[in-house]
Structure 1
Amino acid sequence: MEQNTTKRIPYRYYDIVMAVFVTVLLLSNLLSSAKIIDTGFAVGPLAFIFDAGTLIFPISYIFGDILTEVYGYKRSRRVIWMGFIAMAMMAIFVWLAGALPGEAEWSGYAGQAAYDAILGGVPGLAIASLIAYFSGEFSNSYVLAKMKIATKGRWLWTRTIGSTLVGEGVDTVIFFVIATALGVFPPEIIVSLIAFNYVFKVGIEVLLTPITIQIVNWLKRAESEDYYDYDTQFNPFRFDAA
């Protein structure tokens, strides 16, 4: 079912996958600012702690795999850019809301300090997230697209997991290094955050691989599409999907 044609009927589920993908990204950034979770476990000096956004963020890579595997790198690239724009908008308006003066009654029961404590880190997180997300998602999509050609479409599980190992590695290291440098996370826990978050995210991908494969196979049948990026220009700075 290899179809590399630009003239076709509109996809039925592409916009739904894009909407879920962007929603997951925004939620993960909001949760990352809200709370750091401590599981109470440790391996040597490494504590199992993670920001709350990690609970949902791995799902974005699963949907990134689905997008690239079914619709191809070019259409996945367009969705990645939409996610990038949505995160930038969220960061700007969260910062703007925090900069504007608070109403007197609100200041009495909530106050600027509460807003800053929970949402004040979002702009810093967004800067780290935007750079890490851009690097990680495009690495993930590129690796999956290339592996699909190399394996001739066989062994889907190898490319969903293999691309995640690369993409999540790039994303996790860049995110926590930049966020810590901007004061979002304390430097003392950066190694634990990087190590546990990476293992957790990849673990989620591995555990959900059977579900990912089922969704991919269903979408390929429903959309009559199974795109191979033979002639794709992998420049991440292009926005077109044609």
Structure 2
Amino acid sequence: MREGVRKVEAHALHGAHFRYFDFLLVAFVVVLLLSNVIGAEKRSFVAVPGIGAWPFGAGILFFPISYLIDDVMTEVYGYARARRAIWTGFAALAFMALMEWTVVHLPVAPGWTGQAAYERVFGSGWRIILASMAAFFVGDFVESVTMAKLKIWSRGRRLWLRFWGSTIVGEGIDSLIFYPIAFLGMADWPANTMLEVMLSQFVLKVGWEVLLTPVTYAVVGWLKRREGVDVYDVGTNFTPFSADV
């Protein structure tokens, strides 16, 4: 155990205040919202030697950071506080969807010519909104639970295994939920394209996690030293339907 860092069970920290959790919470929500607004629908590609153009959703460049932050919160502060962050993000997504729908459907001022472009960017249909919220809710909770339980199982060792394992499970579920609900059957999203994008999104998400492993180790280690605790979710109630810490 690092000097100055206590190994504690999560229930022993009920109601405790941490110095840096709020910063992670804000970063988590900001990344979640911006990646859903800016990159949800755009399709891009990378040239892969021997394969050709490999399509991916543009949001993949930044959305996985929200899952990374979720993993860090679970590892450092325990599942209950990560669960509160997930509910905060879910509420923010719901409000963003309501705000988008409201402003898109407001009457257009005479002479303003930007409505079509505005609707294209912010007028996400009900399928994309539903898919985004469902995929986030299920995927993030599954990832956080997996992370917490792997920490108990591994007795706090092999941080890389916890991060990679939880990402494979959580991001896999996220992709399996989002793309079929959002795009299956749409004329400009043929099934083969949707499956290619879904697969590439999953591979890139996991790849991001692997590439950022040294950064993750540094951030987790720094936070544990600054907060002075190493939290284990022994005896934690893993229901998602609570906001208690």
The TM-score normalised by the length of structure 2 is 0.90
Do the aligned partners of residues 237 and 128 (structure 1) sit closer, same or farther apart at CA in structure 2, a change above 3 Å counting? same
Select which of 23, 28, 42 maps to 2:30: 23
Q: What is the root-mean-square deviation of aligned Cα atoms in Å?
A: 1.9
Number of residue equivalences? 237
Q: Distance in 1 between matches of 2:187 and 2:138?
A: 20
Question: 1:105 is matched by which residue type in structure 2?
Answer: G
In structure 2, the CA distance between the partners of 1:185 and 1:67, relative to structure 1 (3 Å rule), is farther
Residue 70 of structure 2 aligns to a residue whose secondary structure is helix
CA distance in 2, matches of 1:185, 1:159: 38
Out of 225, 228, 241, the position equivalent to 2:232 is: 228
1:235 is displaced (CA, Å) by: 0.5
Decide whether the 8 Å contact of 1:179 with 1:185 is kept in 2.
no
* 1:17-56 correspondence to structure 2 within 5 Å: 17-33=24-40, 35-41=42-48, 47-56=53-62
- Structure 2 letter corresponding to 1:37: S
Instruction: Describe how 1:118-137 pairs up with structure 2 within 5 A.
Output: 118-121=121-124, 123-137=126-140
Q: Which residue of 2 aligns with 1:178?
A: 181
- Structure 1 position 138 matched with structure 2 position 145: no
1:64 matched to which residue of 2?
70
Judged with a 3 Å threshold, the aligned counterparts in structure 2 of structure 1 residues 182 and 118 are, in CA distance, closer, same or farther, namely: farther
Return 5+ residue gaps in structure 1 as ranges: none
- Give aligned-pair identity as a percent: 43
The structure 1 residue matched to 2:104, chosen from 98, 106, 113, is 98
Shift of 1:165: 0.6
SS at match of 2:107: coil
Separation in 1, partners of 2:159, 2:187: 37
Q: Which moved more, 1:123-132 or 1:20-29?
A: 123-132
Q: 1:217 to 1:226 in 2, by over 3 A?
A: same
Distance 1:166 1:184, change over 3 A: farther
Bigger drift between 123-132 and 184-193 goes to: 184-193
Query: What secondary structure, in the 3-state scheme, does the structure 1 residue paired with 2:230 have?
Result: coil
Matched residue of 1:173: which SS?
helix
Q: 1:152 to 1:187 in 2, by over 3 A?
A: same
Do the aligned residues in 1 keep the contact of 2:184 with 2:194 (CA within 8 Å)? Answer: no
